[in-house]
């Protein structure tokens, strides 16, 4: 205005526009922030703002008085508001989940903290989980070795506490939780990469590794690694037999140790804790476990399912940990008895209602929506009843091979109990892995079994969403056939030898059992209902 009065009308106009230019941004930012604040109030109406419990006029105009702090631009980062007069501590868990769901429009995850004495609630937008966790960039091998909670603990990735918003390393620790894991996920969800990370850690520590790979393509790179016995495609059933035979050999050594008569020898039933024992820990990877269970004729299927059940029930005290992975954990091929002994549950990707229930044994309604859909994101249950969101660690096959190098064709880790896989003889004959035909190595029944399980899951999905789902879920489905039994401890199982518990010796098992007097009366559980 001063420039305009000074006989410089054009200059004054331009100068005024320059001076007022920042105000345009301020006005715009203020409008956007007010719009975001109003949106938050509307989103929380009926939970902590607005609703019948507040003054009707205030609720209709602005809702309950809340304060919103913004992160840089117009993104709400912290929300503080009073608790409704009728709020109760007992409803907090339900309210936390509802508030998080209503605030996901502005990002996630949100940490919800209540002050009961001050009758206030604070919601804070936390830093999200990283979308990529790479080894050794994000976590070095030295860090993993120094921070693992036990000698057997295996790093899975980075997880986040839904209540506190804290990011922490996620471990699968067989010494502290269930010793074996069920890993699920659809194609390209990150499941195979997660298994690759487990193999890498086992290789670094000098463990034995047995891999059964029905597709015969996902773990070809691991076949020549030190300590690895790889059974792809046609030989995958032999891989399970090799793992069970390895377990029996270890159990036999432990039994002789327990009954050796040496001072204190009968006090330790865990192989890896026995001083001077000759075995390294053994990681058993069974990829596409449901499909593998359905390969071959009826007798082979029963034998494979019995062997998987034996591994899940008995291998831990022989110094072995198992990871059974599948896209389709169908109960027809992966029995409930086997799943019950795979206590650690990991699922990559969101999955559908059937896959979620089969792997995590939780309903989708119990779980918050994943904060991102990037590959490797998923949920894990490492303690009973608690599912956490995590980002799985990534390592490439070339990086795994660089850790300890690869073996020459004539120096591969020997197969001990079954016939050597076909690919080894081809490799020694000069055939490169690139020249080997995937279709030639793949089990001939694989496609049939995969299609059969897909149809079963589609039918299950249709049942899940049908009105009669509740009635269908209430029906009982008795197991068909005889209960799988154990082989003799001194005879490794083969493809031609059915497993029979009747031949099991009578000396005590190395696995401790509860001491129950023979005259103890049976307990009727119905009287407590």
Per-residue pLDDT of the chain (529 residues; tens, 9 = 90+): 554 455 556 565 565 556 655 555 556 667 787 888 888 877 777 666 544 444 444 444 444 567 888 877 778 888 888 777 667 777 777 777 788 888 888 877 888 888 877 678 888 888 888 999 999 999 999 999 999 999 999 999 999 887 777 889 999 998 877 789 999 998 888 999 999 999 999 999 999 999 999 988 889 999 999 999 999 988 999 999 999 999 999 999 999 999 988 888 888 889 999 988 999 999 999 998 888 888 888 898 899 999 999 999 999 999 999 999 988 766 666 777 788 888 899 999 987 788 888 888 888 777 878 888 899 999 999 866 688 999 999 999 999 999 999 999 999 999 999 999 989 988 888 765 555 555 555 555 556 555 655 555 455 444 433 344 433 333 333 434 444 444 444 455 454 544 443 343 343 443 333 333 444 444 443 333 3
Residue 92 CB-density burial (10 A; 0-12 exposed, 13-18 middle, 19+ buried): middle
Contact 173, 153 (CB under 8 A): yes
Contact 241, 487 (CB under 8 A): no
Q: In this structure, what token pair is assigned to residue 337? A: 């008895």
Alpha helices in 315-445 (DSSP H): 336-340, 353-360, 397-404, 422-428, 438-441
Find out whether 191 is annotated in a ligand binding site.
yes
Find out whether 215 is annotated in a ligand binding site.
no
Find out whether 192 is annotated in a ligand binding site.
yes
Other Cβ atoms less than 10 A from the Cβ of 242: the count is 25
With left for phi above 0 and alpha for psi between -120 and 50, is residue 261 left, alpha or beta?
left
User: What single DSSP character describes residue 49?
Assistant: B
Find out whether 481 is annotated in a ligand binding site.
no
Find out whether 188 is annotated in a ligand binding site.
yes
Find out whether 185 is annotated in a ligand binding site.
yes
Find out whether 234 is annotated in a ligand binding site.
no
Is the pTM value of this prediction over 0.75? no
Find out whether 142 is annotated in a ligand binding site.
no
């Amino acid at each position: 205005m001063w420039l305009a009065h000074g006989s410089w009308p054009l200059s004054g106009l331009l100068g005024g526009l320059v001076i007022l230019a920042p105000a345009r941004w301020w006005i715009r930012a203020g409008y956007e922030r007010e719009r975001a604040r109003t949106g938050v109030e509307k989103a929380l109406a009926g939970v902590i703002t607005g609703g019948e419990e507040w003054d009707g006029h205030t609720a209709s105009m602005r809702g309950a008085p809340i304060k919103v702090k913004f992160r840089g631009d117009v993104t709400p980062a912290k929300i503080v508001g009073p608790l409704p007069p009728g709020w109760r501590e007992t409803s907090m868990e339900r309210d936390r989940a509802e508030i998080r769901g209503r605030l996901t429009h502005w990002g996630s995850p949100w940490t919800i903290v209540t002050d009961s004495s001050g009758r206030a609630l604070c919601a804070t937008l936390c830093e999200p989980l990283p979308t990529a966790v790479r080894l050794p960039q994000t976590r070095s091998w030295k860090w993993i070795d120094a921070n693992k909670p036990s000698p057997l603990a295996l790093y899975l990735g980075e997880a986040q506490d839904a209540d506190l918003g804290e990011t922490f390393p996620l471990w699968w620790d067989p010494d502290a939780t269930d010793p074996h894991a069920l890993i699920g996920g659809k194609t390209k969800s990150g499941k195979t990469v997660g298994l690759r990370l487990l193999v890498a850690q086992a290789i670094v520590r000098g463990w034995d590794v047995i891999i059964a790979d029905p597709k015969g393509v996902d773990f070809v790179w691991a076949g020549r690694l030190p300590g690895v016995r790889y059974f792809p495609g046609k030989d995958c059933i032999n891989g399970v037999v090799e793992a069970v035979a390895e377990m029996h050999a270890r159990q036999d050594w432990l039994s002789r140790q327990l009954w050796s008569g040496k001072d204190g020898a009968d006090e330790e039933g865990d192989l890896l804790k026995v001083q001077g024992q000759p075995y390294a820990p053994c990681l058993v990877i069974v990829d596409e476990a449901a499909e593998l269970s359905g390969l071959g004729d009826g007798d082979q299927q029963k034998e494979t399912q019995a062997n998987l059940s034996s591994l899940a029930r008995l291998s831990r005290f022989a110094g072995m940990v198992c990871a059974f992975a599948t896209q389709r954990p169908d109960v027809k091929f992966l029995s409930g008895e086997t799943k019950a002994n795979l206590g650690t549950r990991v699922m990559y990707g969101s999955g559908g209602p059937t896959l979620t229930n089969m792997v995590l044994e939780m309903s989708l309604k119990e779980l918050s929506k994943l904060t991102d859909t990037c590959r490797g994101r998923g949920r894990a249950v490492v303690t009973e009843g608690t599912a956490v969101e995590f980002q799985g660690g990534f390592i490439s096959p070339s990086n795994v091979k660089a850790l300890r190098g690869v073996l020459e064709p004539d120096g591969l880790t020997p197969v001990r109990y079954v016939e050597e896989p076909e690919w080894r003889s081809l490799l020694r004959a000069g055939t490169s892995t690139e020249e080997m035909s995937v279709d030639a190595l793949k089990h001939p029944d694989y496609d049939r079994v995969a299609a059969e399980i897909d149809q079963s899951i589609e039918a299950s999905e249709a049942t899940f969403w049908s009105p009669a789902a509740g009635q269908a879920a209430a029906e009982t489905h008795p197991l068909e056939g005889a209960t799988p039994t154990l082989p003799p401890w001194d005879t490794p199982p083969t493809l031609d030898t059915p497993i029979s518990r009747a031949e099991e010796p009578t000396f005590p098992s190395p696995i401790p059992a509860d001491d129950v007097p023979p005259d103890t009366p049976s307990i009727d559980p119905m009287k407590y209902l």
